[in-house]
Amino acid sequence: MLEMLRKFFDFCNRENRDKLYGAVALGVLDALFGAMKIPAAFFAITAVLQGEIRTSTFAAVIGFMLVSTVGKMVVNRFSQMMQTEAGYDTCARKRIEIGEHLRYLPMGYFNDTSLGHITSVTTNTLEQMSDIATRAIMMVLQGSITTAVIALGMFVFDWRIGLISLAGIGIFMMVNAVTNRKIARIADEKISADKEMVGVILEYIQGIAEIRNYNIFAQNSSRVAKSVERKKKADITAETTAIPAVGLQMLVSKLAGVAIAGAALYFYFTGTMALNYLITMLLSSFMVFEAMDLAGIYTALLKIIGKGVDRANEILSIEQMDVDGEEILPENRDIHLEHVSFAYDSRKIIDDVTLDIREKTTTAIVGPSGGGKTTITSLIARFWDVQEGVVTLGGRDVKEYSFDSLMENFSFVFQRVYLFEDTIANNIRFGRPEASMDEVIAAAKKARCHEFIEALPEGYETVVGEGGATLSGGEKQRIAIARAIMKDAPIIILDEATANVDPENEKELTEAIRNLTTEKTIIMIAHRLKTVRNADQILVIDQGRIVQQGKHEELMQADGIYRRFVSGRKQAVSWKIT
């Protein structure tokens, strides 16, 4: 239990940890105020038995009860506020911290890690923790403190009863330890089932178009149903394990209270305890374990809270790329790769590549699928770090740049465009949030998307669905280009930006790209001949190596992948349906 408490306190930042320490201190006061009922009852019982109810005795009893009641109300009010603020603020900060941490992780992490895992941690896990973690922890601490204070008070009245209460606490703690071990065995399955369910549901929703196209609803619905069923069984198992265990704890506490009452009666009938002490101990036997019962119920949650902390820390412990370089403004934007190699795990993707890309030139990268085209552009932009060799920008190793200053040099337009669930204007501003509306419109006009934006119900203030679901592929591409135009970076990376565009949008998109790429360094991954043939250099990538390099006319003179690529495209264009 103490380990779980320490783990959560370490999870909080200094400010919220101080709030929790303050809440613990108030919990001690709460316990003292609660324990004041016992001396108040003792004075009242003594006065009644002696038949001498004096004004001073009456005032003392009423004073004790008022202080106890009002004190608990005030202390609880401030304690609960501090607990609540600490819990919600800690989880909110951790979400932001995880988001910032993910920003500088190698992109390979996102290939190897389920989106469901990250989503589950930042939503379900932290949401549960914000709701129950601080409350459970403070109830455990406060219950333990209250029981300890009352037990010490019993020592003041009768050391024998005090020893019995301590024995009851000891047995309760042993039973509680066994209970926690049983719950720990099911906590992992509960968390694993939650992670799997979130991942399967996300995959189902994101792939709904493909599921519909290939009519595989039964197969995918079955996966969702199985994951939900597993989650349900894990939750039920958790409850059916916890309830009997908590019941056993409560039975132990009640039997301990019976033992205290029985011992007090025995001491009274044997003449070693006065009647006023007997009645006080009988009342105390009901109070001493009341708070401990509540603490015992909440200790069942501590293991799950600890697992939640572990899951969040697992993400935060993943080693980031070294992004704390210099703020560098390069004299030029020449790009150079020298004997670069890179592998995903043990699978080599890029193998000893050396190349130069001069400033304000266009480089087209072509080649078979899976050959390493996208990986080369990712290494240039330092989405990953090379394992061998070096990548330089303006004569400086990209690792010498701070990540933010390096990114200032690049704009990207990908085949799959992601737009945020926000206004179109804000999506265009994404690269430069401080841009004025006039600048947004100017960028949209250059990207050839001003007309269709104006035709929307709310124009630039139209909120697009998550991922840009409410727009067509061509419209999303042009908004992405407007975003890149707004950033105005000197190097543009186009990753098959026109691959899936319909003929109606192609003309507008081609014009938008032309406006984006004027006087820029262009690196394009492409499979369309018209976007390749005018490049200053063409790189043919196959199995992680540059197998051909040159201009279009030069490569057409040699037998190889490029000429076969062009011939295949020309043949495809000449096909007619008769």
**pLDDT tens by residue, 1-36:** 667 777 778 888 888 888 888 888 887 888 788 778
- Looking at the structure, tell me whether residues 253 and 132 fall in a common domain: yes
- Residue 366: per-residue pLDDT: 87
- Average model confidence (pLDDT) for the chain? 80
Residue 327 lies in a domain: no
Q: Is 388 helix (H, G, I), strand (E, B) or coil?
A: strand
Q: Which two tokens stand for residue 59?
A: 């005032």
Burial class (CB in 10 A: 0-12, 13-18, 19+), 386: buried
Structure tokens at 355: 């190349």
Considering the domain architecture, whether residues 434 and 308 belong to the same structural domain is answered as: no
- Among 145-154, 224-233, 342-351, 505-514, the range scoring the smallest mean pLDDT is 505-514
Tell me which residue has tokens 């000449």: 574
Are residues 166 and 263 both part of a single domain? Answer: yes
Confidence of residue 393 (pLDDT cuts 50, 70, 90): very high
CATH code: domain of residue 468: 3.40.50.300
How large is the average pLDDT for residues 334-349? 87
pLDDT, tens digit, for every residue of 452-491? 889 888 898 988 876 666 677 778 888 888 888 888 889 9
pLDDT at residue 501 is higher than 60: no
The answer to whether residues 526 and 532 touch, using CB atoms and an 8 Å cutoff, is yes
Facing residues of 335 across strands? Answer: 357, 393
Residues 357 and 260 in one domain: no
The label of the residue with tokens 């572990």 reads: 310
Q: Is the pLDDT assigned to residue 212 strictly greater than 70?
A: no
Domain-located, residue 330? no
Of residues 202 and 463, the one with the higher pLDDT is: 463
Q: What's the number of domains the chain is made of?
A: 2
Q: Which helix (H) or strand (E) element contains residue 507?
A: helix 503-517
The answer to the question of residue 180 being in a domain is yes
How many angstroms separate the CA atoms of 168 and 162, rounded? 10
User: Does residue 276 lie within any of the structural domains?
Assistant: yes
pLDDT score of 55 more than 70: yes
Residue 113: closest CA among 311, 403, 388:
311
Rg (CA), the chain: 35
Q: Give the integer Cα–Cα distance in Å for 276 and 299.
A: 36
155 and 229, same domain (yes or no): yes
**Closest listed residue to residue 259, CA positions, set 286, 298, 219:** 286
Domain range for 288 is 2-316
Residues 285 and 358 in one domain: no
Quick one: angle between helices 473-487 and 437-446, nearest 10? 120
Same domain, 303 and 417: no
Residue 388 lies in a domain: yes
Classify residue 321: in a domain, yes or no.
Answer: no
pLDDT confidence tier of residue 191, bands split at 50, 70 and 90: confident
Nearest to 179 by CA among 304, 289, 300: 300
Last residue of a domain, one of 289, 316, 343: 316
pLDDT at residue 33, rounded to an integer: 82
Tell me: pLDDT of 574 over 60.
no
Backbone phi, psi, residue 468, to 5°: 80, 30
Q: Let me know whether 282 and 239 are in one domain.
A: yes
DSSP 322-341: ----B----S---EEEEEEE
In a shared domain, residues 303 and 380: no
> What are the residues whose beta carbons fall under 8 Å from the beta carbon of 420, sequence distance 6 or more?
426, 427, 430, 464, 466
Give residue 215's pLDDT. 56
d(CA 526, CA 569): 12
Strands 347-357 and 362-366: unpaired
Q: How confident is the model at residue 39 (pLDDT cuts 50, 70, 90)?
A: confident
* Cα separation, 414 vs 277, whole angstroms: 81
Q: What is the pLDDT of residues 123-147, one digit of tens each?
A: 777 877 777 777 777 777 777 888 8
Is the pLDDT reported for residue 210 higher than 60? no
**SS3 at position 406:** helix
Instruction: Over range 148-171, report the average pLDDT.
Output: 86
> Is residue 402 located within the same domain as residue 308?
no
- Domain holding 308: CATH number? 1.20.1560.10
Residues 373 and 463 in one domain: yes
Nearest partner of 376 among 336, 334, 330, 418, judged by Cα: 336
Q: State the distance between the two ends of the chain, measured CA to CA, in whole angstroms.
A: 77
Instruction: pLDDT band for 389, please (50, 70, 90 cuts).
Output: very high
Indicate the pTM of the whole model: 0.63
DSSP 16: H
Instruction: Assess whether 209 and 131 both reside in one domain.
Output: yes
Mean pLDDT value of segment 162-177: 85
Tokens describing residue 485: 């135009």
Last residue of a domain, one of 316, 350, 370: 316
How much is the average pLDDT of 172-185?
A: 77
